[in-house]
Amino acid sequence: SQQGEEDPQALSIQEGENATMNCSYKTSINNLQWYRQNSGRGLVHLILIRSNEREKHSGRLRVTLDTSKKSSSLLITASRAADTASYFCAVGKSGGSNYKLTFGKGTLLTVNP
Amino acid sequence: NAGVTQTPKFQVLKTGQSMTLQCAQDMNHEYMSWYRQDPGMGLRLIHYSVGAGITDQGEVPNGYNVSRSTTEDFPLRLLSAAPSQTSVYFCASSLWRSAETQYFGPGTRLLVL
């Protein structure tokens, strides 16, 4: 399986601090995506980075991808209480007519006011 | 656009019963998929479809059937429910090949007694 593995499993920080979550995977990928899930809700797409990209930004989010180390990181700057959620990385792999997105187990982020 | 809709929101079944979880999207997406989410396990892919009439198995397909007769609908059938199928089920869709971002439905909570 090329399932992404997030680290840490849980992270607790104060409002205004930065939060960094990491994701590792096992095989080659086409892209890596990050999703957020608020408690009891569906997942919301945050950002996608392709295998030929090294860094992407979206608002307060910064994602890096190191294909040589098979790892990615998600940085949330100046965190807010509303950022409290579970964050999942997902690795995308396509071949022929098949495309699969495989999720990790997630990082639970708690931002304390 | 309603996006991705799922019904029912919550269901209780007895062991051995069958049921169909409904999923529909109004975004004309080619790719649709079903995941189950269990505590500590992240999301696991059950089945997916890259277009009407085409389906394929994911990571945990046993005990589930799918069909894709239209672009809009992708129902998931539990043939004979087992307690191990107690989970939260998410349907997702995306534009195939052109954008891999997945749009998730709100989920169906299933309890099998």
Question: What φ, ψ does residue B83 adopt, rounded to 5°?
Answer: -55, -30
> Who contacts A4 (Cβ-Cβ below 8 Å, separation ≥6)?
A23, A24, A25, A32, A72, A88, A89, A90, A91, A102, A103, A104
Minimum distance, in Å, between the CA of residue B10 and any CA atom of chain A? 12
DSSP state string for A40-92: TS-EEEEEEEETT--EEEETTEEEEEETTTTEEEEEE-S--GGG-EEEEEEEE
Lowest mean pLDDT among A26-30, A33-37, A57-61, A71-75: A26-30
Above 80 in pLDDT, residue A91?
Answer: yes
Helix H or strand E encompassing B78? strand B76-78
> CA-CA distances (angstroms) from residue A38 to A2, A85, A109?
25, 5, 10
Mean pLDDT of chain A: 92
A99 or B105, higher pLDDT: B105
Predicted confidence (pLDDT) per residue in B57-107, tens digit: 998 999 999 999 999 999 999 999 999 999 999 999 998 754 478 999 999
Q: What is the pLDDT of residue A64?
A: 98
Confidence at A111, pLDDT banded by 50, 70, 90: very high
More confident: B5 or A28: B5
What are the residues facing A46 on neighbouring strands? none
User: Average of pLDDT values for A51-71?
Assistant: 96
Q: Residues of B with CB below 8 A from A30's CB?
A: 100
Residues from chain B that touch A49, judged by Cβ atoms under 8 A, are none
Q: What is the pLDDT of residue B24?
A: 98
Within an 8 Å CB–CB cutoff, is residue A108 touching chain B?
no
Query: How would you label A37-57 residue by residue, b for 16+ Cβ within 10 Å and e otherwise?
Result: beeeebbebbbbbeeeeeeee
pLDDT at A11: 96
Which has more confidence, B20 or A42? Answer: B20
pLDDT at residue B19 tops 70: yes
Rounded percentage of chain B residues whose pLDDT exceeds 70: 96
Q: What is the pLDDT of residue B80?
A: 96
* Lowest-confidence segment of A1-10, A44-53, A82-91, B101-110 by average pLDDT: A1-10
Q: Could you tell me if A109 and A19 are in contact, meaning their C-beta atoms sit under 8 angstroms apart?
A: yes
pLDDT band per the 50, 70, 90 thresholds, residue A27: confident
- Our CA-based measurement puts residue A98 at a distance from the nearest CA of chain B, in whole angstroms, of 7
Task: Specify the pLDDT at position B1.
Answer: 73
Distance from chain centroid for Cα A104: 9
Q: Given this model, what pLDDT does residue B97 score? A: 55
